[in-house]
């Protein structure tokens, strides 16, 4: 089922199947319902109120590399950034491969791909650079 979360930064929709979060979209899907009783909504409540809460159960990564990538991204503290090159070095891959994998992240914010930037600027973000800017600015205010 697709649910809607009305964040202070803009609408968020997510797919919660009753056991795991399958996908997050940084917009409002037409079919989305509001529900604050599931772990994803509760995690967003904590996140947007500068609180800490364990991640809700997430869909399994599609590849072994995505498993490793998730771990690397989750180690970047809120309010901090790393470059594609820095993350790629830690994960023993190339910055280009890192960028491609980040672009395929189905769980933005939960798996914080917005915290990875280019050496010479923001880099890309599958959900749009405006969202990336808003998220980084928000987290730096914690």
Q: Encode the chain (142 residues) as per-residue pLDDT tens digits.
A: 999 999 999 999 999 999 999 999 999 887 767 777 899 999 999 999 988 889 999 999 988 888 999 999 999 999 999 999 999 999 899 988 888 889 899 999 999 999 999 999 999 999 999 999 999 999 997 5
Residue 50's pLDDT is 83
> Could you name the CATH architecture of 64-140?
Orthogonal Bundle (1.10)
Phi, psi of 22 (to 5 degrees): -95, -30
The catalytic site residues sit at 113
Domain assignments of the chain as residue spans, ordered by start = 2-48, 64-140
Classify burial at 44, counting beta carbons within 10 Å of its beta carbon; exposed 0-12, middle 13-18, buried 19 or more. buried
Residue 53's pLDDT is 87
């Amino acid at each position: 089922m697709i649910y809607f979360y009305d964040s202070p930064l803009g609408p968020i929709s997510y797919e919660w199947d009753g056991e795991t979060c399958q996908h997050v979209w940084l917009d409002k899907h037409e079919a989305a319902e509001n529900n604050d009783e599931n772990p994803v909504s509760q995690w967003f409540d904590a996140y947007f109120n500068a609180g800490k809460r364990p991640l809700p159960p997430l869909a399994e990564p599609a590849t072994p590399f995505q498993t490793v990538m998730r771990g690397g991204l989750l180690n970047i503290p809120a309010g901090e950034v790393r470059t594609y090159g820095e993350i790629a070095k830690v994960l023993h891959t190339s910055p280009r491969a890192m960028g491609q994998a980040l672009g395929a992240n189905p769980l933005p914010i939960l798996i914080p791909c917005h915290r990875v930037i280019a050496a010479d600027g923001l880099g890309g973000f599958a959900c749009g650079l405006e969202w990336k800017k808003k998220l980084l600015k928000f987290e730096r205010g914690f």
